Chains A and B, each alone.
Chain A
Amino acid sequence: MRLILDLARGMLSRRRRQTLVSVLGVALGVAFFIAIASLMRGFQTYFVQQVIDVQPHIVIKDETRRPLPQAAEIATPGGAVAINGVKPRDRVRGIRSAGDKLAVLEAIPGASAAAILTGAALLRYGSRDVTITVTGIEPARYRRVANLEKDMVQGSLNDLRSAANGLIIGAALAVRLGVQMGDTVIAVSPRGVSLQMKIVGIFHTGLVALDQSAGYALLKVNQVLQDRPNVVNQILLRLADVTQAEPLARRIEGRFGDRTESWEEQNRNILTVFVIQNAIMYSVTGAILLVAAFGIYNIISTVVFEKTRDIAILKSLGFTEGDIQLLFLVQGMIAGLLGAVLGCVIGQLMIEGLGQVRFQTETPAGNDRFLMAQDWRIFAVASFFAVASAALAAVIPARRAARLDPVQVVRGAA
């Protein structure tokens, strides 16, 4: 094996410049892959982090995945009688026996739970009306499942208790309404209940949708506003280990029957975008590596063509077809390996360079730079594909070399 390596090195050294070019081709493919992959991975990790940070990990809703069967359907299952125009039973919406469920959920290790009631309301201040979603919370519990406290610019969650009907709204909403801390607005719910509410806090999350149309009040207050006494319509869960969200959500849904969504399910559209993004990335860098592979194919073919005499003599000396094939495969892999190593270095430099870029944005999350992931696995994958594609590119010329008939060559040279 050492001999094969020595021979391969000797043959490649004769074509130093051409070898360098094909090595550089592989290196660029590897480097671009590494840079783009860590760029995307960094962004995706950041994004997921944001999502996990802002949202509860699991949401239990007051609905079921399939509509509950109607009494008429139960009475005549699949029968000959079809009843048209059945009106659903008018039942009080909300999560049933939420208190018991909360107790069960709190017992799960690493999980915190909070029950909330959300509902729409029209905020009126002077001549301005804005429709918002009011979330009724219990500050002590809610604090454990969401990071609202962190985003408060003025006031705090506890201030909800300081006023009779306290309301916390987003900064953008405050601007739209033209209200300030301590002002009193009128909130009207779809049920027609009207409450005077005092602004006791202003938050700023950076998510426009939230900042413009969300408000938080005490659970009791919102139950009054929505005219749904003692009802909660969501239970939020936060977990110590976010990766457990999906399986836990399935278990909870299986047990309670309420529709339960993990953060993954709620953000499926974005996560799907990531999959597409990755596919694009892989195909672009795959194309670069493909071009690089042609370079390797080219150099190995040239070497085989130039070295027909050497191949013939090696065969006459007693080298088998397998030896010869291996000899040229190894040459391809050497080129691939050199390219991979060089590519990793260039890739790292590109990561460092991209990490220096700053841009001017208004993103309130304070994200003014590329977020680069530093993951050895990206380097490993890139290197593996470089060496593999190089070996693959060398297969065809290597087989041609192996099949060479030494008699033909020797006769031709004589």
Chain B
Amino acid sequence: MTAPLLAAEGVTKRLAEGVTLVSDISLTVTRGEFVAITGPSGSGKSSLLYLLGLLDRPSAGRVLLEGADTALLPAQDLAALRLARLGFVFQFHFLLPEFSALDNVLIPIRRRGVLKPEAARARAMSLLDALSLADAAAKLPEQLSGGMRQRVAVARALANDPALLLADEPTGNLDTKNAAAVFDIFARLAAEEGRTVLVVTHDADLARRATRRIHLVDGRIVSDERSAPA
């Protein structure tokens, strides 16, 4: 039996002030799952995402990525894992304002340095193309609409062909139509490309489009249900 893509074992995150953000969470996520993490504000859903995305270290418990324990890895190795295996999308697009859409997508590819320059450009272009952004490739972020920027951010998250895509309120700044479009993309990535997608959202309608919904209250899982894609 192969190890699940992602596993959390008793993950807890406490702040120095004694506030507990995430409390003793254990879960496993398999390949190709589209998971929505929901919950009210302050329920610790974003914190859980950062922990699962190796952006933050738990105070207790451990996170296993593809069967490997990440608790004892040095910061450099975590960065390398994020670069090669994970992709992040945040509520704010966080594109570098001085660089074109294409160059923004190229940043993680170039940092990884596996592809030759031409191959890297071709890959970035095909990612943009797949998200209907081919025309926007040469434009600066400020010349793009909010929905387009967020799609560029998704393309950047996919740049190094990650196994796991993590999104933190990716539609928080988008209107309903653009939000639905982004969720469409996530659903397609999971269903067609077999990627695992973890999305934090407070929008129940959008959450229903996921294949699995985890509901958090006060840092604890209160429900975890699966369903066929809507």
Using CB atoms and an 8 Å cutoff, list the residues of chain A in contact with chain B. 2-3, 6-7, 10-11, 13-14, 309-310, 312-323, 406-407, 410-411, 413-414
Contact = CB atoms under 8 A, between A and B. Distances in A.
B: interface residue count bin? 20 to 34
A33 B83 CA distance: 46
B139 interface: no
Contacts of A413: 90-92, 94
B76 A414 contact: no
B98 A414 contact: no
A10 to B, nearest CB: 4
Given A10-B98, A407-B56, A318 B82 contact: yes
13 contacts: A3-B110, A3-B111, A10-B98, A10-B99, A11-B98, A13-B98, A309-B94, A317-B111, A319-B111, A321-B75, A322-B76, A407-B50, A414-B169
A306 to B, nearest CB: 10
Given A13-B98, A312-B94, A319-B111, A414 B55 contact: no
B76 A320 contact: yes
B137 interface: no
A310 B94 contact: yes
At the interface, is chain A mostly helix, strand, loop or mixed?
Answer: helix
B108 A317 contact: yes
A313 B46 contact: no
Contacts of B168: 410, 414
A402 to B, nearest CB: 10
B4 interface: no
Residue among B96, B168, B169 having the largest count of chain A Cβ atoms under 10 Å: B96
Interface of B: 46, 50, 53, 55-56, 75-76, 79-84, 86, 88, 90-92, 94, 96-99, 103, 107-108, 110-112, 156, 160, 168-169, 172
Contacts of A10: 96, 98-99
Nearest to A322: B76
B111 A318 contact: yes
A265 B57 CA distance: 69
Contacts of B94: 309-310, 312-313, 413
A257 to B, nearest CB: 70
Given A2-B110, A406-B55, A411 B46 contact: yes
Contacts of A2: 110
A192 B112 CA distance: 97
Contacts of A6: 103
A14 B98 contact: yes
A316 B98 contact: no
A404 B107 CA distance: 19
A330 to B, nearest CB: 15
Contacts of A313: 88, 90, 94, 96
B215 to A, nearest CB: 19
A14 B141 CA distance: 14
A246 to B, nearest CB: 55
Contacts of A410: 50, 55, 90, 168
* Among A309, A312, A413, residue most surrounded by chain B Cβ atoms (within 10 Å): A309
A56 to B, nearest CB: 67
B100 to A, nearest CB: 10
A358 B137 CA distance: 61
Contacts of B56: 407
Contact of A317 (B76, B88, B92, B103): B88
Contacts of A414: 46, 90-92, 168-169, 172
A318 B96 contact: no
Contact of B82 (A3, A11, A316): A316
The 10 closest A-B pairs by CB, nearest first: A318-B83, A10-B98, A313-B94, A318-B82, A3-B110, A320-B79, A414-B91, A407-B56, A316-B88, A317-B108
A119 B165 CA distance: 99
A318 B84 CA distance: 8
A406 B107 CA distance: 17
A184 to B, nearest CB: 91
A64 B83 CA distance: 78
Contacts of B55: 315-316, 406-407, 410
A406 B55 CA distance: 7
A102 to B, nearest CB: 75
Most buried by B among A13, A320, A321: A320
B154 to A, nearest CB: 13
Given A318-B83, A410-B168, 10 more contacts: A3-B107, A3-B111, A6-B103, A7-B107, A317-B156, A318-B82, A318-B84, A320-B80, A323-B111, A406-B55
Contacts of A319: 79, 83, 111
A323 B83 CA distance: 13
Contacts of A312: 94
Contacts of B172: 414
B111 A309 contact: no
Nearest to A321: B75
B42 to A, nearest CB: 11
B15 to A, nearest CB: 11
Contacts of B99: 10
Contact of B75 (A7, A316, A320): A320
Contacts of B107: 3, 7, 314, 317
